[in-house]
Copies of this chain bind each other. A is one copy, B any other.
Amino acid sequence: MAYGNNIITLDHGSGGRATYELLGKLLRTYLTDVPLLDSAILEPKAGKIAFSTDSFVVSPIFFPGGDIGSLAVHGTVNDLAMVGATPCYLSVAFILEEGFPLVDLERIVSSLAQAAKTAGVKITCGDTKVVPKGKGDKIYINTSGVGFVKEGLSLHPQNIALFDEILVSGPVGDHGLAVLSARENMGLAGLKSDSQPLNDLVGLLCEALGPQVHVLRDPTRGGLATTLNELALEASCEILLEESQIPVRGEVRAGADILGLDPLYLACEGRFIAFVAQGAGQRALEVIKSHPKGKEAALIGKVVSKGEARVILHTAYGGKRLLGMLSGEPLPRIC
């Protein structure tokens, strides 16, 4: 559709004719499964129901490798995949700032719809609000998701056992650094978000290893280091990581160095960490590497004791250091 220089006005959020006509048309062009009703009626499927929500406030809204629309789909699809669910249905809710160009809205909605199609999920219900200029920032998107978990599958930090082996499905830090570089116009070369849906890769792993998969988690805000600290706390365990085994792309390492950032604290949006039973690590690695999204996966560490919660990094130089949670100096709005 051709929106020229048209922008979002407060009238689009009134619930009246402008909401009904313009947004109804634009959104419905792409979100073809969203009914006019506020609630969708979904076919139940076998298994327990997984339910997840995430708001996306990333800045800038367009970045190398994605945009806020595709990210909003990947984020919630991956949250569902992390509990072993097959993601099926998404809701999408927009908070639009007065003055936001309709061409940008269309680009984002189109990207969001394409991402849902690629991930194999249906967008089933939605909502649109408009806030006055200066009370938002272009566009915020909430997605919530419903999926179904196979009977018998239970991924939970409480499953974490002594000598569990820890894998990461690919290089870390790409998303965080790509967004930061785009926001600050740093022009760092070769950066691209890793944002992608992981449900296919996770499905493959769970199918192959069954209950030997103990827990999965996607290292988003706070990165690999913070996510592992959360898991260490939740399972009261000590994790030993081999720094030399953690995959980080050269461009990410170089860019992070320039900015004085540690890639282990930079967000990913298309990677997961897996804890698998002792002895199952090599098999898990082979399964993950057999999929195009997991070609650069690696075994990066193990659980070395239970009781105390901490993450130790065995550095490339042979020393050991405590890897804490992200604290202070936040990198705001990377998702």
Contacts and interface: CB of A to CB of B under 8 A. Distances in A.
Which of the four size classes fits the interface of chain A? 35 or more
Interface string A82-124: 1101000101111100000000000000000000000000001
A10 B298 CA distance: 33
Contact of A50 (B41, B140, B325, B332): B41
A157 B226 CA distance: 49
Interface stretch (A12-20, A184-192, A196-204, A246-254): A12-20
A315 to B, nearest CB: 21
Contacts of A124: 51
Given A37-B156, A39-B82, A53 B14 contact: no
A222 B51 contact: no
A129 B56 CA distance: 8
A333 to B, nearest CB: 7
Contacts of A38: 52, 54, 79, 82-83
Interface in A211-256: 220-222, 226, 230, 234
A137 interface: yes
A291 to B, nearest CB: 22
Contacts of A147: 39
Interface in A122-143: 124-127, 129-132, 134-137, 140, 142
Interface of A: 10-11, 13-20, 36-44, 47-57, 79-80, 82-83, 85, 89, 91-95, 124-127, 129-132, 134-137, 140, 142, 144-147, 149, 156-157, 220-222, 226, 230, 234, 265, 267, 324-328, 330-333
